[in-house]
Amino acid sequence: MQQESKTRLTAAEVGILWTQYMDATLAIHMLKHFLAKNEDAEIRQVNDFAQQVIQNKVHRIREIFRNDNYPMPIGITESDVNVEAPRLYSDSFSLSYIRNITRFGLATYGLALTMSSRQDVREHCNQSITEAVQIDERALQVEQSKGLYLRTPCISPPEKPKFVQNSDFFGSLFGSKRPLNAIEIANIFVSSQSNMMNTALLMGFAQTAESKELREFFFRGKQIAHKQAEILNTLLINSEMPAPMSPDSYVTNSTIAPFSDKLMLQHTIIINQATLAYYGTALAFTARVDLFGSYVRLMTEMSQYLEDAEMLMIKYKCMEQPPLAEDRRALIMR
């Protein structure tokens, strides 16, 4: 342990911890609003458990940074949430929200673990994976008991294993196309479901943001997410597959902001990053040419919206800068 304490955090480990801290402090304050308005006892228990787990995660990151004399990021704070504001989202939305952020967390924690070498950071990543699984399990059980869980489509098993016989398997941009394979169905469904959640989240932001500029920006994001979900759903429907349902009933008619502009802008960046990550995964495992082209177009549109969100963060002076490498040229030219 003495040798361990002398080992500096690597750039990868700092980046991992910094990003997790920013995301976790945001999630905690989102859940504070949900908990203040939850009426369903079972959903409230899931929200409360998730908040406690994420608070423990934040505490672990603080301890690692403190032990290394590393400056703490600010993240999202108490000033960014108003628990007295009227309910903005339904209880069922808060449950789906938890499953959605947990899904993205599980997708990133494994990569974070493989990029870390210091034992305390690896233990933190391992624990984060275990905790995310526990949250997801509780949320899934409540979703299923209340009839809220959306299963991905089922397909009939093949009679026997088969090999691809020719390049028709990859299809073309025009003409007939083979049915979707199981991997493509899973990725399309998850991406569509994520966009449906983003549609509801951004609708709430659009209703409650203080400035007209941000209200219009969030509404534009809502329209993009809804349109992209419809494009993905059409791919499923054209293959005679059920598509995720619309979450329009998730959002109330409140126009009083429970969240600061900073929180809402930062959250918009996070959900767009998550969507791009889902698209990137889907793209890597897509074997149909038309699907490849569709994902590229969706990613291009989403990347532009993400860039606009980042520019607004700078304009409103609420983008916290990640740790940078030393500017050697500046040191030389001082």
Q: Is the confidence at residue 6, as pLDDT, over 90?
A: no
Rounded Cα gap, residues 255 and 230, in angstroms: 27
36-78 residue pLDDT tens: 999 999 999 999 999 999 999 999 999 999 999 999 999 999 9
Confidence of residue 2 (pLDDT cuts 50, 70, 90): very low
116-130 residue pLDDT tens: 999 999 999 999 999
Please name every residue paired with 251 in a beta bridge, in sequence order, or none if there are none. Answer: 89
273-300 residue pLDDT tens: 999 999 999 999 998 999 999 999 999 9
Cα-based distances in Å from 118 to 6, 65, 92, 106, 123: 11, 13, 39, 20, 9
Q: Please indicate whether residue 83 or residue 248 has the higher confidence score (pLDDT).
A: 83
Q: Are 139 and 95 a contacting pair, CB within 8 Å?
A: yes
Percent of the chain with pLDDT over 90: 81
Helix residue ranges per DSSP H, 11-90: 11-37, 41-67
Predicted TM-score (pTM) of this structure = 0.92
Helix residue ranges per DSSP H, the chain: 2-5, 11-37, 41-67, 91-114, 119-145, 182-208, 212-238, 261-284, 289-315, 328-332
Residue ranges, comma separated, of all CATH 1.20.1260.10 domains in the chain are 10-145, 176-315
Superfamily of domain 10-145: Ferritin, core subunit, four-helix bundle (1.20.1260.10)
Rounded Cα gap, residues 111 and 108, in angstroms: 5
Confidence of residue 3 (pLDDT cuts 50, 70, 90): very low
In CATH terms, 176-315 corresponds, of 3.40.228.10, 1.10.10.10, 1.20.1260.10, 1.10.3720.10, to: 1.20.1260.10
214-230 residue pLDDT tens: 999 999 999 999 999 99
Confidence of residue 247 (pLDDT cuts 50, 70, 90): low
Confidence of residue 309 (pLDDT cuts 50, 70, 90): very high
Q: Is the confidence at residue 149, as pLDDT, over 80?
A: yes
Q: Is the confidence at residue 199, as pLDDT, over 80?
A: yes
Rounded Cα gap, residues 28 and 36, in angstroms: 12
Q: Is the confidence at residue 1, as pLDDT, over 70?
A: no
